[in-house]
């Protein structure tokens, strides 16, 4: 018996369905944020979260 992680088993079982997506170039987090409409900082309590911080959290 071979020992694998759950991620390795899922990849072996399903990766062929998503091969095109998995081999495509990565999109920078700021582009993902812009596509989702993250265009200005947000204040949460006493902290301002920048667009960059929010975009990285989403990614």
- The 10s digit of each residue's pLDDT in 25-54 is 888 888 888 899 998 999 999 999 999 898
Structural domain count of the chain: 1
- pLDDT tens readout for residues 2-25: 889 999 999 889 988 888 887 888
The pLDDT value given to residue 5: 95
Q: Is residue 44 included in any domain, yes or no?
A: yes
pLDDT at 26: 85
Alpha helix locations (H) across 1-59? 6-14, 19-22, 29-35, 51-58
Domain that holds residue 43: 26-59
- Report residue 13 as tokens: 């079982």
Write down the pTM of the prediction. 0.52
What is the pLDDT, as a whole number, of residue 24?
A: 80
- Say what the pLDDT of residue 21 is: 80
42: in domain: yes
């Amino acid at each position: 018996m071979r020992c694998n992680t759950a991620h390795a088993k899922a990849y072996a079982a399903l990766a062929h369905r998503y091969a095109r997506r998995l081999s495509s170039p990565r999109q920078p987090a700021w582009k993902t944020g812009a596509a989702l409409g993250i265009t200005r900082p947000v204040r949460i309590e006493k902290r301002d979260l920048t667009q960059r911080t929010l975009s990285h959290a989403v990614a």
